[in-house]
Chains A and B, each alone.
Chain A
Amino acid sequence: MSETHHHHGHDHDHAHDHAGSATMAQRVATLVGALERKGIVTADQLDRTVEGFLAHCKPANGAAVVARAWVDPAFKGRVLADANAAIEELGFDMSHWAYVKLRAVENTARVHNVIVCTLCSCYPLSLLGPSPTWYKSVAYRSRVVRDPRGVLEEFGVHLDPGVEIRVWDSTAELRYIVLPQRPAGTETLTESELAELVTRDSMIGTGVCEAPRR
């Protein structure tokens, strides 16, 4: 490895005749390698930290929030007013390495919300788990702010022409979660049965929740 001799130079392991830069995997490997060589972290510590972190981050968390909002109008009011405080009632929090503000936006018969991060891939990780690859793709990030209805059609979400679409570009310190509409015909379901109807995509806005088939 030549970089041990070139602390301030380029990484000369890579050919420079390609227009693109190093892949993300290469960059991460280089960074991790440097941290390990300097004794700042071990591979073991990194693995345990990432696994411990992700063990608590899953779409079931967001689904629990949505289901509670469906059955408890007062809770829904609190989620819409101060989502950080409301999700703490269910034992969830948004603090990863720094405070981020969570905002819930509600789908109704007249308004459909969809979230994106056009600049990178900001996402409510603790409520939805790791983001899907398409959420991080240039195609989704660039197109959903230009033609949201067309993008939603490709996801199989067909909105009535009169429905107003609101796109939320998570450009700074807020993370968004969509409160999808409760499907018709679910009046008799329990809160935990309702939570099973709440998909990850419905909380991004690229899906809708459906009643269980009979």
Chain B
Amino acid sequence: MSVSHSTAPYYHVTVDREYCKKCKRCTNHCSYGALSFNGERIIADDSKCVACQRCVTMCPASAIRVVKNESYLPPHGNYTRRIRNAIWAQSGNGGVLLSATGNDREIRSIFDDLLLDACQVTNPSIDPLRETIETKIFFGRKPSKIDFKRDSENPKSISLKTEFMPNFEIDMPIMVGHMSLGSISYNAVTAIYQACKELNILAGSGEGGLHPDFYEYGSNIITEVASGRFGVDINYLHNAAGIEIKIGQGAKPGHGGHLPGEKVNSLISQTRMIPKGSDALSPYPHHDIYSIEDLAQLIAALKEATRYKVPIGVKIAAVHNSAPIAVGIVRGGADFLTLDGFRGGTGAAPRIIRDHAGIPIELAIAAVDERLRQENLRDEITLVAGGSIRYSADLIKAIALGADVAMCSMPVLIAMGCRVCQQCFRGLCSWGIATQQEYLVKRLDIDVARNRIINLFHSWNEELKEVLGAMGIDSVESLRSNRDRLRYIGPNPKIAEILGVKHAGE
């Protein structure tokens, strides 16, 4: 590449020479090769820095700062730096640009435009510290009604005739999204599973199989059957609380999984049942599902394989036609349906898809919930919604719009130490999360990470209870689809109309 095409780095690393003890710890910790020691002092290569903050955190003398590179391109409101950089990168390497985490474009969050209701005078609010507020959820398919039969001779004798389908209880309406062993490290996965078991909530396995070490957490894991069928064997199916057929993912609707070969070491190779060092690219569609009836067959096959003991669900990316697709999936026999919005995260995805495909989860929940109601199917299934549930406010609003369970991943990674540098696809994560390099994985202390996840979700659940109490609701069941308790303050009344939510003041 000629000089004229090299781009200005985003970040500038400064090392305070007065503070620096030249201990070289930073050079060991920088997994991206941005820092080195030239025999006299620490020097930085700004072009390699990803602002992961590892050196800043580890420097014993607090000598390092990573700042925004002020040396900047001529400003242009339309050809932003982001777009110019993409053009330079593509004209340099001729490829599809990869990216990680979720869509990072500054698109207004609809969740943030929704306000919650609270009680005043005509109904009393409830103090969650003094009164019981319930957050338990049943995960799986429910009958549309229960049949009872009263004994004609003995009116006190009633028999319950309905046979129930498998459901399992979780203590909070929270699920950790699907992150495979491969996209994230063994230590990260262990911490997540341990935390979910402790909290009795759910974790997704991702499409990377389930390492035998994790079978003990199976009662809190939803395993994923994706188009690559990585790691799918009978143990995988039998060591799960539920099984999800992954059709799509919010970060990359219409795409399969991407695990770069750099991350496929012997552990990953063994778990996924693929050769070491090979890219694990799962096909875009399932090649046995080209239509809805094919999906129904796979659902039926998985139910047979698991002897009807666990719920079988389907995950789709939130796209324009999610509502009718969702109805088809429910009619096809799915016990739960997972919707993943366009801001959903990923370990690796083509940037063009991540940034431009799909629709916001808020609108997808509203449309799918409404459509399932029109067909009188809504209450029979469990609706899981993810795709940027960032904090408890998003979770609460997702449920009020119509979801049973909110699914999130990024907050879990951030809780474990992720600084959102968006380099997961490179396998160099300096925090030991999105990497398979042993010296990096070791940096993530499982116990600390587990406890931080437990703390995070415990606090979310307490905040959920606080909001329910303020609304005068003592069980999360009565928040679900209760759009009456939401108001819209955003700029676009059409959004409020699609959400079925009134404007604030109405």
A and B: bona fide binding partners: no
Interface residues of A (CB under 8 A from B): none
